[in-house]
Amino acid sequence: MKKTVAYLLKYPHLRGCMLVLACLLSVTSLFAQSDTTKKLKEVKVNASAMPATQLVVPSQSITANDFIHYNTFNVADAIRDFSGVIIKDYGGIGGLKTMSVRGLGANHTSVLYDGVQINDAENGQIDLGKLNVNGIQKITLYNAQPPNILQTARAFAAASILSIETIKPNLSAEKPYLVTAGVKAGSFGLVNPYLQWQQRISNKWAFIINSYTINADGTYNYLLFDGVTNTKQKRVGSEVAIQQIDGTLYWNDSNSKFNLRVNYYNSDRGLPNAVILYTPPPIGQKLYNRDLFLQGGYEHKWDNGLQLLINSKVSQNQLRYLDPQFPNTAGVLDQHFSQREYYQSAALAYSIKPNWQVSYAADLAVNNMNADLPNFRYPTRLTILNALASNLILGDLTLQGSLFNTNLHETVKTGTTTPDRNIYAPTLIATVKPFADKNLQLRGFYKYIFRAPTFNDQYYGFSINTGLKPEFTRQYDLGFSYLKSLSGFFDYLSLSADAYYNNVTDKIIYIPSLYNGYARNIGKVDVLGIDAGLKTQAKFKPFTVSLTANYTYQQVQNVTDATAAIYLNQLPYTPKHTLAINAGISKGAFGVYYNQVLSSSRYYDNDNLPADYMPAYTISDASVVYKGSVNHFPISLSAEVNNLFNTNYVVVQSYPMPGRSFRISFQITI
């Protein structure tokens, strides 16, 4: 097995397809057997789906049924309406899209894929634009930590957790397979066919294969303001060609379950440069990704209340950056990066009493990185994580706490490296239902965390910064949630609000430069914020009306030096106010949905000068959806308009966003 994994990591161009199909199809022949099942009479339930109750920590979710209502194409689109979330978007169908939660930056959010982190030791930021929603069942954002304490240790490490849950097989002996095929097409020359195959092998074994391709020229129009008038320009160099295949084998017993996943991602993306007035942007920049990972998990529950969770992962990410017009002596910049991770996690949870559960998790990760840069140091990082957690329910009071330990050891082939780190970080969470009306819950938490500098922070460029300090963050939160099922005109009402304060010490920021960008610590940052959300649904026969609204206030200030000119200035790219509204009306199989995101003004530099000012903007999307059937096969059709009013705006300075665009989609399940 070890030789096989090494071979696959050495030759990622095998695309993962042969391994996925060989593994799953061979298991089909080995384990296929006749099922002894009984057919139960179908029971139809007519009820409104209420949002999940927030029991311990602030959380927000979106399911696959709602993706089409939000004009969702990737994970970044799915979560852009969440309160406290700011999506940093460089524009275009293949543009980089990262998230910042509660003003802390992309490096403070862990992205879990079926419970295992998608890790990037090179830059620490996960490009959410690369994560397609095909095959995803649910996306949840947790602040502090997930409420279920049987987790990998990494799940306790970050300020927030974006948990992505994929579709699991739900088949029977009478219907042992399910095939879903679809295609999306539209502006920018987009063509996106996808296919999902679910197969029941026996009463315990099943597999799912998801695959898709995306091809687009990425060209779109935008307006360029020269100080007097707007001139129409064409954005080029955003073409994409993406292929991904993901295959997972599942085994379920009465008290145990096992899964084995292989995922391969291949993309060639154009990178349009910044738009600078009177300077034609260079074209031809390319980014090539060849990413492969193998992931397995096992969970077992004993009757005495003991639970075991084991996860393993090995991954290799290869990246090539090409700039054919770089202003150096060679006239070209062609850089290659590769990183590998070997990861093992084990966790135990035990119910001491029905109302008291404790858990312990230990993770071991080895990350290394190669690059063809001058004097590159080829770092290897050994990370050992330990998390001890407890969940105690005392009537209407729920208490949860954890103590997290991080031990880092780093080596390089040449030069010096960072000192070893051994850091402890506690988390305390409380939720209470103080009144007779149990629909109202009050909650609060404190969390102390740190983030280590990434490989790029320390070793990229010509100025090696091994003295870079880790970021330390203290989080404080106080809020409430209210969820009530109603029997009148409204089906339910969900309200939530949280006020929070984050204090960051030695915040790491990147200082860009044409030849020699570098990272440095800036001292202290204070974040004051409010997240608020409302969700409801009403019946106005024969129509059903839904409404969701999320508001965010964020004051993110540099408080390092009271005598400095930038003291109390808002940090770059952080609007103080954002509001997202989604409304829909449906009748039978048809639905019409409208989504609007409003962002207040912000600055792209910490100086907050008039020259750095970025105006407020409002973006509106709309969609028409039909969900029905043809010959008893479920189908869905949708027509979407993005940026309905053709607003000219930017999220990142000098990277114009697309104007009005269109997309249609068709899906059938057999």
Which CATH number belongs to the domain containing residue 410 in this structure?
2.40.170.20
Specify whether the CB–CB gap between 526 and 86 falls below 8 A.
Answer: no
**Residues 606, 589: Cα–Cα separation, whole Å:** 50
What are residue 339's phi and psi, to 5 degrees? -140, 145
**Residues 336, 320: Cα–Cα separation, whole Å:** 4
Q: Answer yes or no: is pLDDT of 4 > 60.
A: no
Q: Answer yes or no: is pLDDT of 217 > 90.
A: yes
Tokens 């954890």 -> residue: 402
Using DSSP's 3-state secondary structure scheme, residue 156 falls into: helix
Position 388 in a domain: yes
Q: Answer yes or no: is pLDDT of 284 > 90.
A: no
pLDDT grade, residue 512 (50/70/90)?
low
Question: What is the token pair recorded at 398?
Answer: 């729920």
Q: Dihedral sign for Cα 142, 146, 151, 157, please.
A: positive
DSSP state of 279: B
Position 665 in a domain: yes
Count of domains forming the chain: 1
Q: Answer yes or no: is pLDDT of 25 > 50.
A: no
Using DSSP's 3-state secondary structure scheme, residue 65 falls into: helix
Q: Answer yes or no: is pLDDT of 185 > 90.
A: yes
Question: What is the token pair recorded at 277?
Answer: 């007035």
pLDDT (mean) for 397-405: 97
* Domain, as residue range, for 405: 2-29+52-669
Tokens 């962002």 -> residue: 599
- Return the ∠ at Cα 135 (arms to 21 and 24), rounded to 5°: 20
pLDDT, tens only, 129-165 = 999 999 999 999 999 999 999 999 999 999 999 999 9
What are residue 29's phi and psi, to 5 degrees? -75, -30
The per-residue pLDDT for 629 is: 93
> How does the average pLDDT of the chain come out, rounded?
89
The per-residue pLDDT for 3 is: 44
348 Cβ contact list (under 8 Å, min separation 6) = 306, 307, 308, 309, 359, 360, 361
Position 34 in a domain: no
Position 47 in a domain: no
Q: Answer yes or no: is pLDDT of 307 > 60.
A: yes
Position 40 in a domain: no
Position 68 in a domain: yes
DSSP string, 503-533: EEES-EEEE--TTT-EEEE--EEEEEEEEEE
Specify whether the CB–CB gap between 249 and 126 falls below 8 A.
Answer: no
pLDDT, tens only, 376-389 = 899 999 999 999 99
**Residues 636, 77: Cα–Cα separation, whole Å:** 20
The per-residue pLDDT for 329 is: 83
The per-residue pLDDT for 390 is: 98
Position 35 in a domain: no
pLDDT grade, residue 357 (50/70/90)?
very high
Ramachandran region of residue 102, left (φ > 0), alpha (ψ -120 to 50) or beta?
left
252 Cβ contact list (under 8 Å, min separation 6) = 204, 258
pLDDT, tens only, 570-622 = 998 999 999 999 999 999 999 999 999 999 999 988 899 998 999 999 999 99
Q: Answer yes or no: is pLDDT of 278 > 70.
A: no
Position 287 in a domain: yes
DSSP string, 158-180: SSEEEEEEE------SSS-EEEE
Query: Which of 14, 12, 1, 21 lies closest to 315 in space, CA to CA?
Result: 12
**Residues 135, 169: Cα–Cα separation, whole Å:** 11
pTM metric for this prediction: 0.90
Q: Answer yes or no: is pLDDT of 626 > 50.
A: yes
The per-residue pLDDT for 548 is: 97
**From 125-129, 280-284, 339-343, 395-399, the region with the lowest mean pLDDT:** 280-284
Specify whether the CB–CB gap between 179 and 194 falls below 8 A.
Answer: no
Specify whether the CB–CB gap between 528 and 555 falls below 8 A.
Answer: yes
